[in-house]
Amino acid sequence: MRRQFVSIFLILVFMSAITSSSLAEKIPEEYVLAKPGVCENVFLYKDSGYQVEYRYDIWGKFRDTITRYVDNYNEMLGGDDVDVWFYFINNSRSMDFTDDLSLPNSVYTSLCEILTCADHTACLEINSFDTYMDWFYRSDHHWNHRGSQRGYEDVIRFLGSPDEPYQPVEEVIFDFPYNGSYSQRTGIADDQELFTVYRYQIPEKTSFVSGKKKTIGRAKQYFAGKYKKDRMASHWAYFYGGDIGELVYDTGMEDRENLLILCNSYGASVRELISAHYKRTYVVDMREYMNTTGKGMKIREYIREHQIDKILILADVSYFLYGKLLH
């Protein structure tokens, strides 16, 4: 891992043309506020019916925050002990759909340049709005089951796993619409998308939260027809298990490596799949770590204590804006 610090000069080099003082003027007319006066950062894009955000002004409005987080990660994860893999999830927060999406994403490439602790980088490539619609929900910032599967496959190959990624055995479409995080913020219900997931057959493993065995998510209940039918229920969080500060999967495969995943909520739908390829997988969401464990995260001690072989940062751009610093 390259141990370097980000300079103000380097940050300025990668500042985008968007500034916080003129953000509203620069949002293309194809983006129309979904609910003016109620939510000022969720838009309807053209006539697609998709609720989306617009590319975050990370080198203008959020420059100081990005600098603080990136400097912290470079300091705490820099060195030669453990390699760091950074998998960036492109979504509407890092995209302007009116741009030429066949070109490299500017937010991703800029982060790769300054996140010098990352030895290996890759991203969820979205080359058209049609691809975005295929991989993301109409009313939620998260990737859907197809997007999650693509991200999982990318990550397993990216990490150099000797296994092929698991493939779903069935697509399950439930009999209720899904109104996700954007609908909950705007109050706009969208009944055109039914909640849909993949069913997998993967080896059994043990999962722990705060040192205690725990089943994560409610997949079994959903497949058995036991779920809330509230029109605005948070089905994504219920099904996959939502945000957990520290979650440990143990497969018992002694010949495999130990993996640490640092992630935000995007990890929820892929963490169990990724863990099937490792001996132990430690999934840490720094936003919730203190609440879950009752203690602060001392990352270097954590790496030594759990004999971590690889670190995967799995996140969208908001990870470096709304998380917690490493210590």
Quick check: is 1 in a domain? Answer: no
Radius of gyration of the chain (CA): 20
Quick check: is 327 in a domain? Answer: no
pLDDT value, residue 81: 85
pLDDT value, residue 17: 34
Quick check: is 241 in a domain? Answer: yes
Q: Tokens at residue 21, please? A: 């003082």
Annotate 193-231 with b (16+ C-beta within 10 A) or e (fewer). Answer: bebebbeeeeeebebbbeeeeeebbbbeebeeeebeeee
Query: Alpha-carbon distance 306 to 199, whole Å?
Result: 31
Quick check: is 2 in a domain? Answer: no
Q: Select from 152, 105, 175, 314 the least CA-distant residue to 144.
A: 152
Residue linked to tokens 């892929």: 270
Quick check: is 190 in a domain? Answer: yes
Quick check: is 126 in a domain? Answer: yes
In this structure, the strands spanning 246-250 and 206-209 are antiparallel
Q: Tokens at residue 170, please? A: 């069935």
Query: Alpha-carbon distance 291 to 293, whole Å?
Result: 6
Q: Select from 314, 37, 52, 268 the least CA-distant residue to 180.
A: 52
Quick check: is 293 in a domain? Answer: yes
Q: Which helix (H) or strand (E) holds 313?
A: strand 310-315
Quick check: is 3 in a domain? Answer: no
Annotate 260-274 with b (16+ C-beta within 10 A) or e (fewer). Answer: bbbbbbbbbbbbbbb
Number of domains in the chain: 1
Domain membership of residue 33 as a residue range:
8-322
Q: What is the pLDDT along the chain (327 residues), one digit of tens a residue?
A: 443 333 323 332 333 333 333 344 489 999 999 999 999 999 999 999 999 999 999 999 999 999 999 999 999 999 888 999 999 999 999 999 999 999 999 999 999 999 999 999 999 999 999 999 999 999 999 999 999 999 999 999 999 999 999 999 999 999 999 999 999 999 999 889 999 999 999 999 999 998 999 999 999 999 999 999 888 999 999 999 999 999 999 999 999 999 999 999 999 999 999 999 999 999 999 999 999 999 888 999 999 999 999 999 999 999 999 888 999
